[in-house]
Amino acid sequence: MERALDLITIGRTSIDLYGQQIGGRLEDMATFCKAVGGCPANIAIGGARLGLRTALITRVGNEPMGRFVLEQLQREGVVTTGVKTDPHRLTSIVLLGVEDQGRFPLLFYRDNCADSALSEDDVEETFVASTRALLVTGTHFSMAAAAQHKAMRIAQTCGARVILDIDYRPNLWGLAAPGAGEQRYVRSAMVTEQLAPVLAQCDLVVGTEEEIHIAGGCEDTLEALRNIRRRSAATIVCKRGPAGCVIFSGDIPARLEEGITGAGFPVEVYNVLGAGDAFMAGFLRGYLHDEPLERCAAYGNACGAFAVSRLLCSPEFPTWSELQHFLLHRSAHHALREDAHLNHLHWTTTRRPAPQTLTAFAMDHRSQFEQLARVAGASLERVRALKLLAVEAAGQVADGRPGYGMLLDSTYGREALARAAALGLWLARPVERPGSRPLDFEGIPSLAAHLSEWPVCQTVKCLCLYHPDDPQELRERQERELLRLYSACRALGRELLLEIVCSRHGRVRDDTVAQVLTRLYELGIKPDWWKLEPQASEQGWTACAEAIQTYDPRCRGILVLGLDAPLEQLSSALQLAARFEGVRGFAVGRSIFADAAHAWLERRITDEAAVKEMADRFRLLADRWRGLRAESFA
């Protein structure tokens, strides 16, 4: 019988706060990076990235961190039907760090947290019955055993496989001090006794050697495996870190190496936290597709290698595309996090979803509005108010639908940015000094520090006035700045919209813009979006499309800019652009706002009239674009 889900995981979830300073104590951490954590949540995310249909049963708090967990799970493709919101408790938090190659400090803040209150009432029979497999975790038997036992009973009744990740955290069992989160093993007959009836119900049991010891009640690995086998017919997987894993589907042999072995991958160990969860996700990708155990082991070990070579947990787990590429080609880098190709593949397959069609109202102009205000005798405060009116216009056109956006600056549009985000509009924000040539980020001594203040929902937009016939010194200076910006965006996980304008400083031929794209790609610059001038011919767009397809077929696409063209001329340019699949939409400004802005700044029209005129023009272009695309790709 076909079931809706491949895997449901149940148990703890948290907000992981990773210290970003490597080689220091948690006491010395200055900044932290936020991610969804917790063994079951990590495995659900990792499995979804590998193409499994996964879901999670847990609890989160009714607060921003709980909402982040829900939103991120949904972005990853994890079904959240089983995630309950607890009105009385907070989402748990974990602080993690990398002190050196052998020390990874870990602090759990879990006092009366939401997931610890998971109850039988949270486990719905029809939901569990919709999956082919259920994964329970050892640690959660210390706090929500009844919920997990109920889920297991339902799964067995419905013929679903039951999987145990032993996931032993002694301090969460009360066996180590609250601050001893890093401690991985404490002997405990009580824990062994509680896990014994669980083992008997499982089809697959996975753990490290220390976890095998606690489940088997013995610190001799082979004897512990035999004790587990006496209680369970499950396939047993013993994870052995850099050595890979060994699998036992029948009797336990005289030597570990006589099991089915899966060799590890020789990579730099940067951070071991989360590696076991990544391994489980990879192993289950094969196991739930009934692939040979050797292949399951290869998936698991490769996913673990990705995890140990990167800083965070679930955000660093590979996607199916990444995993396939790595298994086929390996990497020339001992530190996988330094492999530019794998990093780009990871980024493009895990970044936030974006609309296939995007029509954006560009209102990020600064110097132009300063001039308009001077001519109209208006204050700059009026410019800020005008940008809020533009957001109102864009919001009316979007009407809550995806695929509409705005370009807004923070100089005069800070309030507008906040309002546009509240309306759910796609957002891009400029980083360059207006009109600078060579490109300049004046007043921004550190791009990374500056961009770290931006919300992740804001795409970084940069206009570069670049022509392939520019003097070499000018081109090299501009390229250095673009490389600096690109590196900052990738390091901070920010999308980049790169706007290239050639026509102001030279003749534009059919291949001019494509030459620029090719040059920047050869430098290693791969923006998420391009914003380009309308091309005069079909050959111009073809050349641009071919450059993108050659160097970065995962690019989100091209947005056409307006350059203050009359609506009739712009409409004609869009008609040509719409024939090309890689052109996703437009980002147009003055063609929409110019007349309304003049009249409003001079107080010749009301707020309502300005909003209506801008909305009418934006709607006209947006509807025109969508109609053209429908005609071209019917």
- CATH at 343: 3.40.1190.20
Within a domain: 133: yes
* C-alpha pair distances (Å), 126 with each of 9, 11, 202, 582: 15, 18, 20, 43
Residue 607, SS3 per DSSP: helix
| Cβ neighbours of 435 (radius 10 Å) | 12
Kindly state the average pLDDT of the residues 12-29.
Answer: 95
pLDDT score of 180 more than 90: no
Q: Which of 314, 331, 350 is the last residue of a domain?
A: 350
> What would the DSSP string read from start to end of 164-203?
EE----GGGGTSS-TT-TT------HHHHHHHHHHHTT-S
Q: What is the pLDDT of residue 349?
A: 98
Within a domain: 440: yes
Within a domain: 360: yes
Q: Are strands 458-465 and 426-430 parallel, antiparallel or unpaired?
A: parallel
Token match 């980020």: residue?
441
Residues 120 and 95 in one domain: yes
Q: What is the pLDDT of residue 256?
A: 95
- pLDDT band at 100, cuts 50/70/90? confident
Cis previous bond, 438, omega within 30:
yes
Kindly state the average pLDDT of the residues 577-597.
Answer: 96
Q: How many domains does the chain have?
A: 3
Residues 366 and 465 in one domain: no
Residues 281 and 235 in one domain: yes
Q: What is the pLDDT of residue 344?
A: 98
Residues 572 and 626 in one domain: yes
Within a domain: 533: no
Residues 6+ apart with CB under 8 A from 567: 591, 617, 620, 621
Residues 121 and 248 in one domain: yes
Residues 283 and 415 in one domain: no
Within a domain: 532: no
Kindly state the average pLDDT of the residues 217-242.
Answer: 97
pLDDT score of 24 more than 80: yes
Q: What is the pLDDT of residue 212?
A: 98
Q: Which residues pair with 5 in a beta bridge?
A: 131
Within a domain: 535: no
Residues 6+ apart with CB under 8 A from 307: 271, 274, 275, 277, 278, 279, 313, 316, 317
Residues 63 and 167 in one domain: yes
Residues 314 and 439 in one domain: no
Kindly state the average pLDDT of the residues 452-460.
Answer: 96
- pLDDT band at 566, cuts 50/70/90? confident
Residues 136 and 48 in one domain: yes
Residues 484 and 411 in one domain: no
Q: What is the pLDDT of residue 445?
A: 84
pLDDT score of 19 more than 90: yes
Token match 């009109």: residue?
435
Within a domain: 531: no
Residues 117 and 254 in one domain: yes
Q: Which of 350, 375, 404 is the last residue of a domain?
A: 350
pLDDT score of 634 more than 80: no
Q: Are strands 7-10 and 54-61 parallel, antiparallel or unpaired?
A: parallel
Q: What is the pLDDT of residue 226?
A: 98
Measure the N-to-C terminal CA separation of the chain; round to a whole number of Å: 36
| Cβ neighbours of 85 (radius 10 Å) | 16
State the burial class of residue 258 (Cβ atoms within 10 Å of its Cβ: 0-12, 13-18, 19+): exposed
Q: What is the pLDDT of residue 565?
A: 82
Residues 456 and 576 in one domain: no
Q: Which of 299, 324, 350 is the last residue of a domain?
A: 350
| Cβ neighbours of 507 (radius 10 Å) | 9
pLDDT score of 467 more than 80: yes
Q: What is the domain-level CATH number for residue 389?
A: 3.20.20.70
Q: What is the pLDDT of residue 348?
A: 98
Within a domain: 67: yes
- Residue 514 lies in domain: 432-493+500-526+543-555
State the burial class of residue 156 (Cβ atoms within 10 Å of its Cβ: 0-12, 13-18, 19+): middle
